[in-house]
């Protein structure tokens, strides 16, 4: 619908920056969300806002939102790229989510498409759905991509002087904006060195990850390994594979070359 990059004649108050972009794109999906067992919105006309240094955010037309759940507050914020945001609290029964909803009622001209739209803090709502599939953590970025490629290049993982995993049957996962991850078949991992962890995390593109600690002698490396026992269909190939944090284990090599990543 619109894209911001270099603006020759910015609106009053609007800041342009050659390295900062905002894109507002139409969303063809049916989008729904619930709070305290009640549908907050159900729309076919949402837009998705992509912004430098931020996760993508859905904006929903006010006409598709149950405004009876909303109470305007005095809270406001200012964005140098979008304008002044007003806020609403969300309430149903005894459940209240303070300042869970925001809107730009008089956005800068460059962001005019989000006028009369509302945005919601993802974790303040209970469930989000794209069509009939539940989505977790944040909106899926339409420009994000995951490629999973089989590789015979030798992958070796070491910690505390022991080899934890070694394979020539890894899957290399390439995800937009993130470091390459190396998934090793369970059969090629020293499972006797793993301890189940209670940690779980969610990814909107892959599903729910479960974790393991690595224990070698008296050395324990917490949550050094993760896997997706029931990955989303789109990445189903990684079921039965484990992935290691290079920055947590002592050494991870691909074809004899060290992999070093920041947390």
Domain with residues 2-135, CATH architecture = Beta Complex (2.170)
In whole angstroms, how far apart are CA 181 and each of 104, 170, 195, 243, 259? 38, 10, 21, 7, 10
Q: How far apart are the first and last CA of the chain?
A: 35
Instruction: Establish whether domains 2-135 and 146-258 are of one fold.
Output: yes
Residues 6+ apart with CB under 8 A from 106: 83, 84, 115
pLDDT tens track of the chain, all 263 residues? 444 333 334 445 556 667 788 999 999 999 999 999 999 999 999 999 999 889 999 999 999 999 999 999 999 999 988 999 999 999 999 999 999 999 999 999 889 999 999 999 999 999 999 999 999 999 999 999 999 999 999 999 999 989 999 999 999 999 999 999 999 999 999 999 999 999 999 999 999 999 999 999 999 999 999 999 999 999 999 999 999 999 999 899 999 999 876 44
Burial of residue 47, with CB atoms counted within 10 A of its CB: 0-12 exposed, 13-18 middle, 19 or more buried: buried
- pLDDT digit string (tens) for 204-222? 999 999 999 999 999 999 9
Are the beta carbons of 176 and 204 closer than 8 angstroms? no
Q: Give me the residue spans of the domains in the chain.
A: 2-135, 146-258
**For the domain with range 146-258, which CATH number is right: 2.60.220.10, 3.40.640.10, 3.40.50.720, 2.170.150.40?**
2.170.150.40
Buried residues in 141-175 as b, exposed as e (16+ CB within 10 A): beeeebebeeeeeebbbbbbeeebbebeebbbbeb
Q: Supply the pTM of this predicted model.
A: 0.85
What is the rounded CA–CA span in Å between residue 138 and residue 152?
34
Helix, strand or coil for residue 124? helix
User: Strand pairing of 207-216 and 219-227?
Assistant: antiparallel
Residues 6+ apart with CB under 8 A from 144: 175, 176, 177, 205
Instruction: Give the model's pLDDT for residue 190.
Output: 97
- Supply 133's token pair: 């599939």
Are the beta carbons of 112 and 2 closer than 8 angstroms? yes
């Amino acid at each position: 619908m619109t894209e911001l990059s270099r603006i020759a004649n910015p609106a009053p108050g609007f800041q342009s920056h050659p390295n900062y972009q905002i894109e507002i794109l139409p969303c063809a999906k049916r989008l729904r969300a619930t709070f305290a067992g009640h549908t907050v919105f159900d729309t076919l006309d949402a837009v998705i806002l992509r912004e430098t240094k931020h996760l993508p955010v859905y904006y929903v037309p006010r006409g598709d939102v149950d405004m009876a759940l909303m109470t305007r507050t005095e809270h406001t914020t200012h964005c140098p790229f979008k304008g002044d945001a007003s806020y609403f609290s969300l309430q149903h029964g005894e459940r209240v989510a303070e300042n869970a909803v925001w809107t730009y009622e008089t956005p800068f001209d460059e962001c005019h498409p989000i006028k009369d739209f509302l945005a919601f803090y993802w974790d303040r709502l209970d469930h989000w759905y794209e069509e009939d599939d539940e989505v977790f953590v944040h909106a899926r970025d339409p420009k994000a991509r995951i490629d999973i490629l089989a590789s015979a290049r030798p992958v070796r993982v070491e910690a505390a002087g022991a080899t934890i995993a070694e394979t020539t049957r890894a899957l290399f996962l390439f995800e937009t904006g993130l470091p390459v991850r190396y998934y090793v078949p369970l059969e090629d991992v020293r499972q006797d060195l793993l301890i189940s962890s209670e940690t779980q995390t969610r990814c909107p593109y892959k599903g729910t990850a479960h974790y393991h600690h690595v224990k070698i002698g008296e050395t324990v490396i917490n949550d050094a390994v993760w896997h997706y026992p029931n990955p989303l269909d789109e990445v189903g190939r990684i079921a039965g594979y484990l992935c290691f944090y290079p920055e947590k284990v002592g050494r991870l090599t691909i074809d004899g070359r060290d992999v070093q990543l920041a947390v």
